[in-house]
């Protein structure tokens, strides 16, 4: 071994020798000493470890897999060897194509196709991402639950809907009559449209049928008419009694308004008892000085109570209490049982009580329905402000004119329509926006005005 190394070193020192190894290998040959490396460190493992034999083995394994599809040592003998029985002459008749006479048919593929052909027997690596599915765990759990329900005979909700859906009625299309038929009915342009006979689910999905409008949207917010007719007393030439009745109604409205104003004034007024006097002022100044003695007495009482300790109960007293508790429970149960037996003899009175209760319930239901009907004609609270009815447009007895020419107009049509919409719950009650100036007005006298003055 030493002679072989010496021979390699001598050959490498020759001037015309070309080495196939790297420069690092020639340096190792030239150097007489072996380089000492610490292999305890992981960074020196690949750098100073000889793995050439491992790489050659792996290259050989890859070559066998590409060429034969696996290791030759694992292949059976029938796939590696065959029995040589000599040459056998086969009479092969050349096939002559009809389109090419006098030329040999080329059965071999082109060279470019052979180059591009996949010659490796190693199967392509499996693409894991191609087989992955988002939410696979959740979908698997749903499928397992569906299988369990199907085994129990329970159908899912979607399948139930499909089964409960009404099948479409099959109707044969009516044949249109010929144009030359004189008794045929004329087409009504303004007539009612023909009803769709197809499946409603199909019409809904295809957009051919409109979504059913909720009944609540068709209901009016109020049952009041758009234009309310004034009472007969509001005519330009009313009857005496009807005019007096309208005046009385306006008078009651004004009385209610005055009462509300007086109530607010009474609530805001200062009572005579609440006014400060010399005695009350002196009591406020002295308050807190006399209460110190009372606090000291309360502290002494608390200390005396805390000093008393509760005596401990004996076993005999506890047994007596337990027995009394059991007796009271038994008495209570016996009383309940007796009451239930007595109720058998009170069936008539109980039946009369139930009838009275049912009658009271029916009266409450009727009253509730009446209140709901009355609320339909009343304005609701739609905003932060409460609806205030418009003042009655009425003329006094001395202002009535017997002619339309001399009639004095009252109120405003625009304001009346606005109040009517508020009363019918179409818009919320509003108040006029307050205009607030950002900057104060500044008055300046012009020079021309000063010259005149």
Burial annotation 274-289 (CB, 10 A radius, 16+ → b, else e): eeeeeeeeeeeeeeee
Give the model's pLDDT for residue 93: 55
Give the model's pLDDT for residue 290: 57
Give the model's pLDDT for residue 295: 58
The residue assigned the tokens 């108040």 is 431
Give the model's pLDDT for residue 17: 40
Give the model's pLDDT for residue 25: 47
User: What's the CA gap between 424 and 221, in Å, rounded?
Assistant: 7
Count the Cβ atoms, other than its own, within 10 Å of residue 423: 19
Residue 37, C-beta contacts closer than 8 angstroms, at least 6 positions apart: 44, 47, 48
Helix and strand numbers (H, E) in the chain are: 17, 0
Q: What is the pTM of this model?
A: 0.41
How many residues belong to the chain?
A: 453
Kindly give the confidence (pLDDT) of every residue in the chain, 453 residues in length, as a single tens digit, with 9 standing for 90 and above. 454 455 455 444 544 444 444 444 444 445 556 677 787 888 888 788 888 899 999 999 999 888 888 888 888 888 888 888 877 665 555 555 555 544 555 578 888 988 888 878 888 888 877 778 888 899 999 999 999 999 998 888 888 888 888 776 666 655 655 666 667 666 677 776 666 667 778 887 887 777 788 888 888 889 999 999 889 988 888 999 999 999 999 999 999 999 999 999 998 888 877 788 888 888 888 887 655 555 565 665 655 555 556 678 899 999 999 999 999 999 999 999 998 888 888 888 889 999 999 999 999 999 999 999 898 889 999 999 999 998 888 888 888 887 888 888 888 899 999 999 999 999 999 988 888 888 888 888 888 877 776
User: What's the CA gap between 224 and 379, in Å, rounded?
Assistant: 10
Give the model's pLDDT for residue 24: 46
Give the model's pLDDT for residue 301: 61
Give the model's pLDDT for residue 79: 83
Select from 395, 387, 394 the least CA-distant residue to 420. Answer: 387
User: What's the CA gap between 234 and 242, in Å, rounded?
Assistant: 8
């Amino acid at each position: 071994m030493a002679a072989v190394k010496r021979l390699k070193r001598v050959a490498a020192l020759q001037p015309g020798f070309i080495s196939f190894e790297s420069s690092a290998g020639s340096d190792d040959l030239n150097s007489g000493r072996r380089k000492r490396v610490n292999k305890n460190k992981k960074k020196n493992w690949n750098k100073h470890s000889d793995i050439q034999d491992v790489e050659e083995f792996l290259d050989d394994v890859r070559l066998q897999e590409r060429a034969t599809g696996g290791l030759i040592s694992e292949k059976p003998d029938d796939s590696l060897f065959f029995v040589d029985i000599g040459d056998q002459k086969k009479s092969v008749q050349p096939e002559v194509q009809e389109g090419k006479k006098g030329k040999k048919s080329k059965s071999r593929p082109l060279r470019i196709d052979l180059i591009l052909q996949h010659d490796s027997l190693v199967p392509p690596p499996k693409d894991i991402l191609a087989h992955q599915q988002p939410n696979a765990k959740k979908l698997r759990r749903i499928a397992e639950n569906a299988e369990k329900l199907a085994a129990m005979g329970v159908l899912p909700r979607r399948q139930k809907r499909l089964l409960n859906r009404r099948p479409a009625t099959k109707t044969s299309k009516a044949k249109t009559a010929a144009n030359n038929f004189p008794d045929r009915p004329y087409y009504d342009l303004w007539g009612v449209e023909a009803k769709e006979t197809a499946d409603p689910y199909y019409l809904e999905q295809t957009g051919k049928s409109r979504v059913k409008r909720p009944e609540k949207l068709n209901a009016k917010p109020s049952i009041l008419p758009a234009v309310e007719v004034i009472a007969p007393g509001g005519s330009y030439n009313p009857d005496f009694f009807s005019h007096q009745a309208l005046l009385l109604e306006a008078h009651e409205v004004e009385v209610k308004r005055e009462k509300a104003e007086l109530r607010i004034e009474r609530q805001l007024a200062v009572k005579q008892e609440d006014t400060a006097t010399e005695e009350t002022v002196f009591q406020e100044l002295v308050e807190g000085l006399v209460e110190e003695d009372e606090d000291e007495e309360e502290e002494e009482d608390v200390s005396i109570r805390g000093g008393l300790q509760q005596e401990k109960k004996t076993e005999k007293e506890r047994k007596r209490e337990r027995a009394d508790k059991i007796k009271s429970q038994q008495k209570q149960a016996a009383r309940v049982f007796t009451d239930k037996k007595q109720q058998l003899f009170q069936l008539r009175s109980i039946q009369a009580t139930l009838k009275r209760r049912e009658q009271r319930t029916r009266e409450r239901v009727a009253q509730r329905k009446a209140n709901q009907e009355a609320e339909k004609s009343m304005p609701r609270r739609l905003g932060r402000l409460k609806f205030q009815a418009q003042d009655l447009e009425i003329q006094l007895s001395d202002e009535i004119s017997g002619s339309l020419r001399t009639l004095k107009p009252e109120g405003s049509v625009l304001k009346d329509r606005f109040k009517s919409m508020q009363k019918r719950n179409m818009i919320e009650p509003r108040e006029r926006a307050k205009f607030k100036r950002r900057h104060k007005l500044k008055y300046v006298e012009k020079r021309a005005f000063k010259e005149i003055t």
